[in-house]
Chain A
Amino acid sequence: MEHADPEPAIIRVENLEHAYGDFKAVDNISFSVKKGEIFSFLGPNGAGKSTAINVLITLLSLQKGTATVAGYDVTKDPQRVRESIGIVFQDITLDRDMTVWEILEFHGRLYNMPDDERRRRIDELLQLVQLGGKRNERIKNLSGGMKRRLEIARGLMTRPKVLFLDEPTIGLDPQTRMRMWDYIQGVNNEGTTIFLTTHYMDEADHLSDRISIIDHGKIVISGTSWELKNTLGRDIIYLETNDNEAAVSLLKDLPSIRDIKIKTKGFLLMVNEDGTKVLPGIIDTLRNSAIEITTINLKKPSMDDVFVFYTGREIRDEGAAPAKPAFLRAGGR
């Protein structure tokens, strides 16, 4: 509508940088989000996801680069950006002594919705997130999942073009997380573009149309979940042998093998073809050279593998980067 582009970008970020003192939280990132898609920033805590989101929602000032949201520049037109978006913050942003209805009413008034539209929208949204029966309940009496659902409803009050979700399922139990995913997908099906940050691989994998893996403030790789996994090959084979070095040098030139990663006790083969077909040949090759195989495992690349492959380590906690070698995780899960 606003753009003549065949695939209009609703968020467009170019060369964005944001530093706290000397520390570059976001380091020269560029990406765009298409209208109607679910786009994820996947990265460990402290990777710069929240900083990036806070610049886009105009809570942090833009230091370097450009960013437009819903067609408006975040520096030149922050008011318009604010009117066009909905936000679910990383931490619960509710008043425990207000009621469910009051939280939504407050938001509607804050965004200056007319009375009748506000009332109608509250009824609709309470239905959508199944909190109709909790209308006059105080926030402190709600469960974690209910609070999150209420925040999603609040984010949708003004019918935003983009809904920002910063770690939407953090701290929720597995069932609640999955229900939350359903709500998020439902909202997306109704046409709202969704930008979410997460450090859960399965969440990014399950929900997103496209994912950008972000680490140390940089985007490491972007694509659909399928594309990202495909960069690792079709299958991953994990082998342990009595002579790993010899085995690797023997296998590394096979045409079906895309890449090899050495692990502590064994090694991983990323293969281009169906692993079940390739495996017998590999076993024969090793047997013929009198190398004894002690362990075999075959699996499809998961988002975890992709993440570890591109960031060089498993997901870490709060900015602490353990000096683990850049190996893939053993595949026996």
Chain B
Amino acid sequence: MKARRPQNRRSCGREGVSMAYGFMTIYWRDMIRFVRFKTLLVSSLLQPALWLAFFGIAMSSNFDKLTAGIPVPAGAHPVGYLTFMGAGIIAMTTLFTSLFGGIVILFDKNWGLMREILASPMNRNHIIFGIGLSGVTKSFIQAIIIMGFGILIGTAFFAGYTPLQTVIGVAGILAFVAMFALGFLFLSAAIAISMESPEGLQGVITLLTMPIFFASNALYPIDTFPEILKVLSIYNPMTLLITGIRYFAIGPDFVSLGKHYAYTPMDIGWAFGGLVIFTLIMFTFAWWRFQKAVVT
């Protein structure tokens, strides 16, 4: 019993450390699960590539033929549909992965470690951060695979870039992916901790993905949308992400599907800022849900 005393005192000092690194424990555990389920791992890496290979190639062979006659403005850089929608596929994959990223929380709540975690001295924010970090890691892996595979089958990502520009381009894309992923991971975690059944969670997520994906510039320009849909699409985090990806992967000035895109660094700053605001709101939401969470 006597040996306990100094150890206790040490644990007071260690509290600062636990405040800083608690989320790494959650991250470590979630990554164990990620690499352990081999089928899930392989399918989650294969799925975006398949989208690009089948949907991308099928659509681009049509669209490129249809838009071939549209004149390209002088000085603008024309890109094929595969390149255009490649950015959309990165965004779509990130959206799906992130929205499902919180599902482990629901499983833990019903059959797993959530009671242990909630009864531990660790601050609950670390659950949110840990899930966020592992979700971002997964999205990074997927984004890089899509970029690599995309270039392999003919997307003109980073075409004509110097090596340094390519590195900056990839870093820029990952920064956008990270911010967007965090926002939806926080949302997913908040929903998961509040729900009782995996079926319910699945329903909510499916309900969310549809409008977020289609009311965006992932597959087509949004300019010709009816006014209300257009406004929704402009402020859709998905659109902000895709704008960022296209800026870094294709360039500030290009033409696709007969539409001229020109972005200033300011536009991109605003897009990123929009994602930051979205993510902060989602974090606040998740924080509130986790404070209220009672699991017994």
Contacts and interface: CB of A to CB of B under 8 A. Distances in A.
B20 to A, nearest CB: 10
A57 B36 contact: no
Contacts, number: 78
A79 B112 contact: no
Interface string B85-127: 0000000000000000000000010011111111111100000
Contact of B32 (A89, A98, A191): A98
Contacts of B117: 110
A54 B294 CA distance: 10
Contacts of A114: 14
Task: Determine which residue in A96, A109, A114 has the highest number of CB atoms from chain B within 10 A of its CB, and name it.
Answer: A109
Interface in B1-29: 1, 4, 7, 11, 14-15, 17-18, 21-22, 24-25, 28-29
B119 A60 contact: no
B29 A98 contact: yes
Given A95-B113, A112-B14, A159-B4, A57 B119 contact: yes
A107 interface: yes
Contact of B119 (A87, A97, A191): A87
A79 B29 CA distance: 23
Interface residues of A, number: 30
B116 A89 contact: yes
Contacts of A93: 112-116
A95 B118 CA distance: 15
Interface in B280-296: 294-296
Contact of B121 (A50, A79, A102, A159): A79
A50 B29 contact: no
Contacts of B14: 112, 114
Contacts of A1: 1
Contacts of A51: 296
Contact of B118 (A59, A111, A154, A191): A59
B33 interface: yes
Nearest to B5: A1
A59 B115 contact: yes
Contacts of A110: 22, 25, 116-117, 120, 122
A107 B118 CA distance: 12
Contacts of B15: 79, 112
A111 B14 CA distance: 10
Task: Determine which residue in A89, A93, A110 has the highest number of CB atoms from chain B within 10 A of its CB, and name it.
Answer: A110
Contacts of B112: 93-95
A62 to B, nearest CB: 13
A1 to B, nearest CB: 7
Shortest Cβ-Cβ A-B pairs, 3 listed: A112-B18, A109-B25, A82-B121
6 contacts: A59-B115, A83-B11, A87-B119, A95-B33, A95-B112, A112-B11
Interface of A: 1, 50-51, 54, 57-60, 79, 82-83, 87, 89, 93-98, 102, 106-107, 109-112, 114, 154, 159, 191
Given A97-B37, A107-B120, A110-B120, 12 more contacts: A50-B296, A59-B118, A59-B119, A82-B120, A83-B11, A87-B116, A89-B116, A96-B111, A98-B32, A110-B116, A112-B15, A159-B7
Interface of B: 1, 4, 7, 11, 14-15, 17-18, 21-22, 24-25, 28-29, 32-33, 36-37, 108, 111-122, 294-296
